[in-house]
A and B are shown apart, each in its own frame.
Chain A
């Protein structure tokens, strides 16, 4: 019987958040703090000829004005290719060019408007294919001239290719020759944005003895510490990072960006505290966004519809700088086929520079993009084979004994049970074969299906840790480096701890804010790996604590430690449970009735380092990048008006193999949240650029998100095939609800309108354009 696992435990921070009491980075009232604002580039690609800061400097209240020449360092998590402020050249519209530090925000903003920059425009490259064309202008003159943090990044000199990954299995030529049906299709997905409710912000100050204190809205406090230490040659112990609640991250707050500017700003004013704030419009165009993607997909099947071969080329539009995009390219490569049994594979995934805003991780780390391409192509294949799209997927579902694209052998623990997900989603969505059904004149209903899968691509040496202390009342405090940004990870860790100690989860208090001087290092709060990595650390810390309680108990009760049980907030001998000692009386050592002290105070600690992961073989792609996979199947149902090319989404269903449902309601809502984000992204979101590469109307008046009241009927169900290496068998799941939504929507609309939609977003105008082109 579980005490905490599998229960609907309310989020630990729920009340603070719903009452508005939760405090975020820029909420903290403070006086005596300076403000910094940014001037950003108005061109997508230009040489900076001259910057005149004299008028800005002369404005009363301005403390300093910084430009690229004040900061020669380059930054990036994988390749050091990005300046904090543009030097000599700007590579995207919105790139920070100068920063003003002033007594307050209005003064800084006024001063920004007084800076004059003289540019000379350069050729603009807006798609990967333009960037790869013969003779294309090189966005970085020495693509392979930058320092690499990791060895598995492969920039190609003399091109705009920042990295490339190859997956090779079997013999595709021979396999395609025997195919009865072949689908070949090009796909196009534009960049879009994360749009967390909390705009990015950071502040920094430098103490008199040189400690750099950074408070930031970040998913990666330890990466902030590390990157700033390396770039500015400050010992990492001198860098103290503090992260309060984060108001949504979705991957967009994983990179280190404003923190660097905050440190530069503070340094320029003698270490005084400076907050860097950006308005929403700058958050959209200056801060990193979601990747764009172009893809060529070729799938061949025999006459039974069994896939024989895939030939895939993915071109990631990483924008002006790499940030984490090479690893998103790698991530696409390791999951390139979708969750299908494919013996013959050739895949090239390329990370390509363009003059778009640079990209970074976005919920599901690029799988939402590659899945659109693969799963749309699967539906095209189903039509060619005259098969129900769901049946085609069951026939080809990856299964124990299959090899993944990177040639990892599938087992139930590793990949779960996709077939069961498909069978279950068939019932959940009331699947009807994927054909359009006319319900009245010009109006049809149709459903579309897509499968999803995702493994992780963390550094092979990523770590996590947990500390546990006791309160005098016997309740425990859990301290980890996990950032709370809405994914409920902290609550799940509390459940794991409660289960280990056999206590009520209410007796677990979670320290929500992360302080790098107090909490043990946790790689980053990304990749849905909280339950796996920090979960392991919590399990180990609990074991450590239980061991200490046993020793105290054995001494206090006068029996061997092996006889001691720890449960329900008590320590007792298995042989005499009535004679127990409550936690409160033993966790800080035990005081015997005669006053003598027995045992020691109990402190739990646990560390965890990923094991068994490898880099990919550069020729074949063979290797294992993550501990396991999470698979699932999703269906979207639409009602379409064929005359006006409009539609509404009726329902959306997901069945996912999450290994173990440790908190049904929080997991359901997290998956539904992902589905909602996916529907929004697929149906309406894109950065629109003009031919000069200038973003058009990057603001929330024009860039619309799905909002309350527009949501379809969300149906979520789970399959439980435990992952043997994970705490309580739970798999990564919190990003995954998004992955198949664009594809399922695309498949539903393609069925409804009888046309193949191959790009996003699926706006009514887009549908109309495709349909009217088909008619002419």
Chain B
């Protein structure tokens, strides 16, 4: 139960959405952009947020696009994880979407919500970090399209009132060799203890991670080690542990040491599979 009333706005255009945000702010009200709502509902229920208004972006045409044109795949921020998975346009992103929550929630959770939310894993960001994706944002200062990595640093760096509209993925990435490995405490459907996502470009392995640290990341140093064929797979996996941007993350789902153990095993077998042509 959400124990308070709130205003529901359903704008039809990007500008209307931004305008209503500004209007609400000027009235001293807090507003959140909304598409799927799974996280907003949970947080309102638990009392950790109490927005005066939600702005539903599902009726904005740009936010529901899911198409390929001119060498790019465009995905609207309000597209659900299940739509992305079933479109099969970007298999690696589809794999990520298919392992977040259960099917019912995959039909509700949006790409924008997964990227911009507060749950720390943001698993859809991993394929985007690896694929030279761009992202279009809209806000009170207008629209901008920038490299995804320019505004994603473990979490989205949005300006006040700004929201995600679309991501754009270059077509080379859609068919590229890739791997997605998610390890959980016990269940198939759960938060990741470790998620390792890899994409190869011109024979070079790119890798992004979440679960192992308190935020998703991609690291040039780690990728250099992963691609250093002079070292055995086990040694490379071990070395990666020393290059994490922060000590392994630990919580009730799994301690940091255990996550490190899983990451080493996962990387080691991923590298072996890659070298043996199994990926």
Q: B residues within 8 A CB of A702?
A: 252-253
Q: How far is the CB of B45 from chain A (nearest CB, A)?
A: 7
Instruction: Kindly state the separation between the CA atoms of A281 and B46 in the bound complex, as whole angstroms.
Output: 9
B104 beta carbon closer than 8 Å to chain A? no
Give bound CA distance, A107 to B253, whole Å.
34
B190 touching A704, Cβ below 8 Å: yes
Asked if B30 is at the interface (CB within 8 A of a chain A CB), the reply is no
Tell me which residues from 221 to 279 in chain B have a Cβ below 8 Å from any Cβ of chain A.
251-255, 258, 261-262, 265
Which residues of A105-148 are within 8 A (CB) of B? 105-110, 113
- Nearest CB on B from A776, distance (A): 12
Q: Within the complex, which residue of A105, A696, A697, A710 is in contact with B3, where a contact is CB–CB below 8 Å? A: A105
How many Å lie between the Cα of A772 and that of B265 in the bound state? 14
Docked-complex contact B3 and A768, CB < 8 angstroms: no
**CB proximity of A644 to chain B, nearest CB, Å:** 6
Name which of B1, B186, B265 has the most chain A CB atoms within 10 A of its CB.
B186
Q: Tell me which residues from 676 to 710 in chain A have a Cβ below 8 Å from any Cβ of chain B.
A: 683-684, 688, 696-697, 701-702, 704, 710
Q: Does A575 contact B (CB under 8 A)?
A: no
Question: Would you call B252 and A697 a contact (CB within 8 A)?
Answer: yes
Q: Which of A693-739 contact B (CB under 8 A)?
A: 696-697, 701-702, 704, 710
Per the bound structure, the CA–CA distance linking A281 and B47 in Å amounts to: 12
Query: Does B185 count as interface, using CB distance less than 8 angstroms?
Result: yes
Contact A279 to B45, CB < 8 A, known contacts A106-B3, A704-B190: yes
* Interface members, chain A 606-663 (any B CB < 8 Å): 643-644
Q: A182 vs B231: C-alpha distance in the bound complex, in angstroms?
A: 50
A764 at the binding interface (Cβ < 8 Å): yes
| B258 in complex: contacting residue of A281, A701, A704, A765, CB < 8 Å | A765
Given A105-B3, A110-B4, check contact A764 B265 (CB 8 Å): no
B187 within 8 A of A: yes
| Contact A644 B262, CB 8 Å, known A109-B3, A279-B45, A702-B253 | yes
From A279, A643, A644, A765, B185 is in contact (CB under 8 Å) with: A765
Bound form: Cα–Cα A769–B5 in Å: 47
Query: Would you call A185 an interface residue if the criterion is a C-beta within 8 Å of the partner chain's C-beta atoms?
Result: no
B-side contacts of A643, CB under 8 Å: 265
- Which residues B166-215 have CB closer than 8 A to chain A? 185-187, 190-191
A10 interface residue per 8 A CB criterion = no
Question: In the bound complex, do residue A106 and residue B1 qualify as a contact, i.e. CB atoms below 8 Å apart?
Answer: yes
Chain B residues, Cβ within 8 Å of A768: 258, 261
Given A683-B186, A704-B190, A765-B254 contact (CB < 8 Å) = yes
Shortest distance in angstroms between B238's beta carbon and chain A's nearest beta carbon? 15
Tell me if A763 counts as interface (CB < 8 A to partner B): yes
Q: Which residues of B contact A279 (CB under 8 A)?
A: 1, 45
A697–B250 alpha-carbon span in the complex (Å):
13
The residues of B that contact A683 with a CB separation of less than 8 Å are 186
Q: How far is A109 from B5 in the complex, measured between Cα atoms in Å?
A: 12
With the chains together, A643 CA to B183 CA distance in Å?
14
Residues of A within 8 A of B5 (CB): 106
A644, B265: Cβ atoms under 8 Å?
Answer: yes
Distance in Å: Cβ of B241 to nearest Cβ of chain A: 15
Asked if A110 meets B3 with Cβ closer than 8 Å, knowing A763-B186, A768-B258, the reply is yes
Report the separation of the CA atoms of residues A644 and B187 in the bound assembly, to the nearest whole angstrom.
15
Q: For residue A688, which residues in chain B have a CB less than 8 angstroms away from its CB?
A: 252
- A431–B47 Cα distance when bound, in Å, is 53
Interface bits A512-544 vs B (CB < 8 Å: 1, else 0)? 000000000000000000000000000000000
Residues of A within 8 A of B258 (CB): 765, 768-769
Distance of A268 from chain B, by nearest CB (Å): 20
Give the residue among A281, A696, A765 with the most B Cβ atoms within 10 A.
A765
Query: Bound complex: CA of A109 vs CA of B4, how far in Å?
Result: 9
- Give the contacting residue for A684; candidates B3, B186, B252, B254; CB below 8 A: B186
Q: How far does the alpha carbon of A701 sit from the alpha carbon of B258 in the complex, in Å?
A: 20
**A contact residues, total (Cβ < 8 Å):** 26
Taking CB atoms and an 8 Å cut-off, the chain A residues in 560-577 that contact chain B are: none
* Chain B residues with CB below 8 A from A763, complex form: 185-186
Proximity string of chain A (75-116) to chain B, C-beta cutoff 8 Å, 1 when within and 0 when not: 000000000000000000000000000000111111001000
CB distance from B38 to the nearest CB of A (A): 11
Minimal Cβ-Cβ distance residue in A for B47? A113
Chain A positions 721-776 with a Cβ under 8 Å from a chain B Cβ: 763-765, 768-769, 772
A109 in contact with B186 (CB, 8 Å): no
Taking the nearest CB of chain B, how far is it from the CB of A568, in angstroms?
51
Closest chain-B Cβ to A97's Cβ sits at a distance in Å of 16
The residue of chain A having its C-beta at the shortest distance from the C-beta of B101 within the complex is A701
| Smallest CB separation, A112 vs chain B (Å) | 8
Complex Cα–Cα for A710 and B189 (A): 12
Min CB distance, A710 to chain B, in Å?
8
What residue of chain A has the Cβ atom nearest to residue B266's Cβ? A644
| Min CB–CB distance B43 → chain A (angstroms) | 12
Which residues of B sit under 8 angstroms from A772, Cβ to Cβ? 261
Q: How far is the CB of A638 from chain B (nearest CB, A)?
A: 14
Complex contact A765–B255 (CB within 8 A)? yes
Chain A hits for B187, CB < 8 A: 704, 710
Q: Which residue of A lies closest to B42 (CB)?
A: A701
Complex CA gap A50/B265 in Å reads 53
Question: Measured between C-beta atoms, what is the minimum distance from B5 to chain A in Å?
Answer: 8
What's the Cα separation between A696 and B255 when bound, in Å? 13
B1 to A: closest C-beta gap in Å? 6
Question: Quick one: closest B residue to A684, CB to CB?
Answer: B186
Residues of A with C-beta under 8 A to B47: 113
- Contact status B262-A105, CB under 8 Å: no
Across-interface contacts of A684 in B (CB, < 8 A): 185-186
The residues of A that contact B191 with a CB separation of less than 8 Å are 701
Contacts of A110 in B (CB 8 A): 3-4
CB-CB under 8 A from B46, the residues of chain A are 281
Inter-chain contacts of B252 with A (CB < 8 A):
688, 696-697, 702
Mark contacts of A278-291 with chain B using CB atoms, 8 A cut-off: 1 yes-contact digit, 0 otherwise: 01010000000000
Separation of A697 and B251 alpha carbons in the complex (Å): 10
Closest-by-CB residue of B relative to A683 is B186
Of chain B, the residue at the smallest CB distance from A704 is: B187
A108 to B47, CA, bound (A): 14
| A105 x B254 contact (CB < 8 A) | no
Chain B nearest CB from A323 CB (Å) reads 26
Task: Please give the distance in Å from B273's CB to the nearest CB on chain A.
Answer: 14
Whether the Cβ atoms of B3 and A764 lie closer than 8 Å is no
User: In the assembly, what is the distance between CA of A697 and CA of B1, in Å?
Assistant: 18
Bound Cα distance A665, B185 (Å): 34
Contacts of A769 in B (CB 8 A): 258
Give Cα A696 to B5, complex, Å.
29
Nearest residue (CB) in B for A766 is B258
For B45, the chain A residues whose CB sits under 8 A away are 279
Complex CA distance for A696 and B191, rounded to whole angstroms: 15
Residues on B with C-beta less than 8 A from A704 are 185-187, 190
In the bound assembly, the distance between CA atoms of A281 and B42 in angstroms comes to 12
Contact in complex: A105, B1 (CB < 8 Å): yes
CB distance from A105 to the nearest CB of B (A): 6
Bound: A532/B191 CA distance, A: 46
Q: Which residues from chain B contact A696 at a C-beta distance below 8 Å?
A: 251-252
Q: How far is the CA of A281 from the CA of B251 in the complex (A)?
A: 18
CA distance A467 to B168 in the complex (A): 72
Taking A764-B185, A764-B186, A769-B258 as known contacts, 13 extra A-B pairs with beta carbons closer than 8 A to each other, sorted by chain A number, are A105-B1, A105-B3, A106-B2, A106-B3, A279-B45, A281-B46, A644-B262, A644-B265, A702-B252, A702-B253, A704-B186, A763-B186, A765-B254
Query: Could you list 23 A-B pairs, sorted by A, with CB under 8 Å?
Result: A105-B1, A105-B3, A106-B1, A106-B2, A106-B4, A107-B3, A108-B3, A109-B1, A110-B3, A110-B4, A113-B47, A644-B262, A696-B251, A696-B252, A697-B251, A697-B252, A701-B191, A702-B253, A704-B186, A704-B187, A710-B187, A765-B254, A768-B261
Closest 9 A/B residue pairs (Cβ): A109-B3, A106-B3, A696-B252, A765-B258, A688-B252, A697-B252, A110-B3, A684-B186, A704-B187
Q: Which residues of chain A have a CB within 8 Å of any CB of chain B?
A: 105-110, 113, 279, 281, 643-644, 683-684, 688, 696-697, 701-702, 704, 710, 763-765, 768-769, 772
